[in-house]
Amino acid sequence: MNFDPAVFFAALTSQGFRNGALLAIALTFVAQLTAVVIGLVVALLRGSGNRVLRGTGWTYVWIFRAIPTLVQILFVWNALPQLFPALKEDWFSPFIAAWLALSINEGAYMAEIIRSGLLAVDEGQQLAARALGMTPSSVFRRVVLPQVTRVIIPPTANEFITMLKITSLASAISLQELLSYTQTSISITFRFAEYYAAAAIYYLVIVSIFMAFQAWLERRFQWRSQRGESGRLATTLRGLGAR
Amino acid sequence: MTDDHKLLLDPALLGPTEGDAGPLLEAVAIQKRYGRNEVLRGVSFGVERGDVKAVLGPSGSGKSTMLRCLALLEPIDAGEVRLEGRTIGVRPSGSRSVRLPERELAHQRSDIGMVFQKFNLFPHLTALGNVMLGLTEVRKRSKADAAQVAGDILERVGLGARAGFYPSELSGGQQQRVAIARALVMNPKVMLFDEPTSALDPELVGEVLAVMEELAREGMTMVVVTHEIGFARKVADRVIMMDEGQIIEDATPDQFFDRPRHERTRRFLEAVH
Amino acid sequence: MTGRSKRLFGLVATAGLILSACTGGGGANSQVPTVSGTTASVAPTGAPPSTAASPSAVAITAPTSLLKAGELSNCVDIEYSPMEFFAPSDPNTPVGFDVESYQAVVKKLGLTEKIVNTGFDGLIPALTAGRCDIVWTALYINEDRLKVADAVPYFKSSHQVMVPAGNPKGVKSEMDLCGLKISIQSGGLVEKVSKTASDACVAAGKPAITIQGYPKVADELQQIVIGRVDGVWETDTQVADFRLKNPGKYDIAFTVGGDSKYGIYFGKGKADLGTALSASLKALKDDGTLAGLATKYNLDPANLDVIQ
């Protein structure tokens, strides 16, 4: 076996790879964002005082975590149109179908992450907020949600990175994203090392960018003032006798 | 105190200190159950305008619960809470009363300030942000307005320089003072303190008690659950002892500490002295 | 880690992966030469020889460059009826034109068979990595592939476009597909050819052909069943099979011009394997075995003419 650098670099800079990568990133973003919204709703349902709402939330998480993601994608693409003929039309593209299936699937996982985030917020927080006279929605928006957000950043970033890989499942319903383009190129040319290497580089770069974004986000939620740092340092120095 | 010492309270907002018949805040035969556990078994007491009432008692006696019921943070099973003579927290429904929905409760709560043992400061906001939140969210003041008022009151509790710090960067005593400022900035008619210094290191207790003393001196109506006997003796107008969900003693500080009437009060005082 | 050192780490890791794959593949090529298997020819079974050249006197030398002595391993993507698929009655037994032709060749060479079920895109990596001797799975021969492996042709095949019965959109040629939707199996020759057709549409000022590529044939065919696509662009063998199983529902719109051949692929530098395969195919064609198999699967025996 040999490795042809020319093929590798051609692949790395090819339009097909670039488009596939952009498609994968776009699908990751929209699916994950939608999943966070769905997850928040379901998490709130699960924490509701109403038994019917609680049961609905639980059932959602149960069903959509149990069924394999690929099956959900194939179901949305191949089975739903038989129930709703409108889904055969052009507007219901593989991207939209994958967006739908992946959001619903990931929403179940996000619901559990957000639920654990809600549990992590100290009870005294909403007690103090209510004591000030804040309404339930104010309490949630201004006091609880910021704290939940901080707690769920690491696991959500994890899900985000996983989602990037999961979007490759959409190749089963003809979405030409990064991985399917790689496999197609290999089938036609029989050169796999070069194409796998190029694909690996793309995924690495994308994930690295995600990770940098996560680090930035975590820094923003550190809740430390600049002065606080220097203040404590100054206090420590003073304490050590440096006058 | 120097002459140009800033007042914590705005006298204009305080209202008349004499002439009002009846207590400012009153608990009338309050009963409360958690499951099968009767935490409050008919508690009645009132605090007059401008007075400071200290509440002592062993843990589990229901002191914190009573405070939370007074602040409308917990529903009660029987009895009434009255502010300025008016029953709050419920509305009539036929011949009975039902608890108001949260949105309306919230409105009534803003007249009652509460300070907690664990401070419960909002960690994602600076000291200034913490104090401002009530003004922007509940009183609907503009951000600029709120920032100014909040900065001012932080100045008065001695934390003007720390306004930009986050709770995690403040000492316990500083955090509790921010908590007091946060409650104070809402111009409450009465302030409730739930063991405000119990979670503090001994050397930090003093700075918090000083602020509370100042408040009392300026005429704030206060109910303070505390273990600080010295503070109670010095600042309180009346002292109550709670035990097993009931008030068993209600007297002036001198009477309470020197000539307690009940055996349980005596035993409790011996234990904490 | 800073961003820059992260990237460096990534490049180093990838380089490491590639190097290990290279050496893995290279190592497998240095095979232990075997002299197993008999070299006697096998008496013809089934139909008697029809041509003058009598196969019984020709001895076919068994190949020596086999991975495992006495065994001709074959990587197959067993999801392509009628060439290779699992028998409905027995989900563990592969059958089909390719499979049974392979089994006839194995017998001819006096070797044992071993079929490795491999996903479509893993076939050639498996070949070059030395996991199988040949890949006999209805793969077209094209120049790109011949750069990487050698092939012996065995069946002529062309592409066809299949449409619902009655050809409602009146598709008679590539240009009639402009603006319509078709489904194909991704990763094959069809991908290239259909894209070329779509480009021709655009060049002529017409809308492009919407081409949906599916990794699995089952999903590809499902789209015309649902009614999402106007046609399926597939090999003639696949179309024949599908129409056999769904009589009366689908028509052939047209056959795509140009000649293509299916080939048996094997690793470079194994001339003896190529010779053995060619000789066996010729013998089996001459004695009618292959023709019999073709007819069994509703294929046209005339396509065997590519066997020289």
Show the 3-state SS of chain A: CCCCHHHHHHHHCCHHHHHHHHHHHHHHHHHHHHHHHHHHHHHHHHCCCCHHHHHHHHHHHHHHHHCCHHHHHHHHHHHHHHHCHHHHCCCCCHHHHHHHHHHHHHHHHHHHHHHHHHHHCCHHHHHHHHHCCCCHHHHHHHHHHHHHHHHHHHHHHHHHHHHHHHHHHHHHHCCCCHHHHHHHHHHHHCCHHHHHHHHHHHHHHHHHHHHHHHHHHHHHCCCCCHHHHHHHHHHHHHHCCCC
CA pair distance B96, B94, nearest whole angstrom? 5
Listed residue (A53, A113, A100, A56) closest to A74, CA to CA:
A100
Closest-CA residue of A relative to B138 is A134
The pLDDT of residue C53? 43
CA pair distance C172, C159, nearest whole angstrom? 14
**Least CB–CB distance from A184: residue in C7, C18, C187:** C187
Collapsing DSSP states into helix, strand and coil, what is residue B10?
A: coil
The pLDDT of residue C264? 94
The pLDDT of residue B266? 87
The pLDDT of residue C189? 80
Tell me the CA distances in angstroms from A39 to A54, A71, A109, one per residue in order: 14, 20, 7
Do the beta carbons of residue C261 and residue C153 sit within 8 Å? yes
Strands of the B37-47 sheet, one edge to the other: B37-47, B25-34, B78-83, B86-88
**Chain B meets chain C (3+ C-beta pairs below 8 A):** no
Say which CATH topology domain C158-258 has. D-Maltodextrin-Binding Protein; domain 2 (3.40.190)
**Chain B residues closer than 8 Å to A131 by CB:** 71, 73, 109, 112-114, 183
Length of chain A: 243
Is B165's CB within 8 Å of A129's CB? no
A49 CA to centre of own chain: 29
| Global confidence as pTM | 0.77
pLDDT tens digits for B51-77? 999 999 988 889 999 999 999 999 999
Reported as a pLDDT band with limits 50, 70 and 90, residue B91 is: confident
pLDDT tens digits for C261-284? 899 999 888 888 999 999 999 999
A227 contacts chain B (CB < 8 A) = yes
Do the beta carbons of residue C251 and residue C162 sit within 8 Å? yes
Reported as a pLDDT band with limits 50, 70 and 90, residue B273 is: low
Amino acid identity of A122?
A: D
Is A132's CB within 8 Å of B186's CB? yes
Do the beta carbons of residue C189 and residue C161 sit within 8 Å? no
Listed residue (B253, B264, B210) closest to B229, CA to CA:
B253
Nearby residues of C193 by Cβ (< 8 Å), 6 or more positions away: C159, C233, C256, C258
Closest-CA residue of A relative to C22 is A1
The pLDDT of residue A17? 92
C31 CA to centre of own chain: 26
CA pair distance C165, B61, nearest whole angstrom? 85
C232: alpha, beta or left? (left if phi > 0; alpha if psi -120 to 50): beta
Nearby residues of B88 by Cβ (< 8 Å), 6 or more positions away: B72, B81, B82, B108
The pLDDT of residue C292? 92
The greatest distance separating any two alpha carbons of chain B, rounded to the nearest whole angstrom, comes to 57
ipTM confidence? 0.89
A205 contacts chain C (CB < 8 A) = yes
C3-157+260-306 and C158-258 in the same fold:
yes
pLDDT tens across the length of chain A (243 residues): 578 898 899 889 988 899 999 999 999 999 999 999 999 999 999 998 899 999 999 999 999 999 999 999 999 999 998 899 888 888 899 999 999 999 999 999 999 999 999 999 999 999 999 999 999 999 999 999 999 999 999 999 999 999 999 999 998 998 988 988 888 787 777 778 889 999 999 999 999 999 999 999 999 898 888 654 444 554 555 555 444
Q: How many CA atoms lie within 13 Å of B229's alpha carbon, on the beta-carbon side?
A: 11
CA pair distance A112, A119, nearest whole angstrom? 11
Nearby residues of A119 by Cβ (< 8 Å), 6 or more positions away: none
Bridge-based pairing of strands C260-266 and C150-157 is antiparallel
CA pair distance A237, A104, nearest whole angstrom? 54
Tell whether omega for the bond before C82 is within 30 degrees of 0, i.e. cis.
yes
**H/E stretch holding B147:** helix B143-156
A210 contacts chain C (CB < 8 A) = no
A95 CA to centre of own chain: 16
Reported as a pLDDT band with limits 50, 70 and 90, residue B5 is: low
- Chains contacting C (3 or more CB pairs within 8 Å): A
The pLDDT of residue C18? 52
> Which of the residues in chain C have pLDDT under 70?
1-59
Collapsing DSSP states into helix, strand and coil, what is residue B7?
A: coil
CATH class of segment(s) C3-157+260-306? alpha beta
Q: Please say if the pLDDT value at position B21 is more than 70.
A: no
Strand partners, C210: C181
Reported as a pLDDT band with limits 50, 70 and 90, residue B16 is: low
Reported as a pLDDT band with limits 50, 70 and 90, residue B15 is: low
pLDDT tens digits for A100-130? 999 999 999 999 999 999 999 999 999 999 9
Higher pLDDT, B193 or C4: B193
Nearby residues of A38 by Cβ (< 8 Å), 6 or more positions away: A103, A104, A107, A110, A111
The pLDDT of residue B264? 86
Give me the mean pLDDT over the B147-161 stretch.
Answer: 93
The pLDDT of residue C12? 55
For chain C, give every domain's residue range.
3-157+260-306, 158-258
- CB neighbour class for C283 (10 Å; exposed up to 12, middle 13-18, buried from 19): buried
Closest-CA residue of B relative to A151 is B124
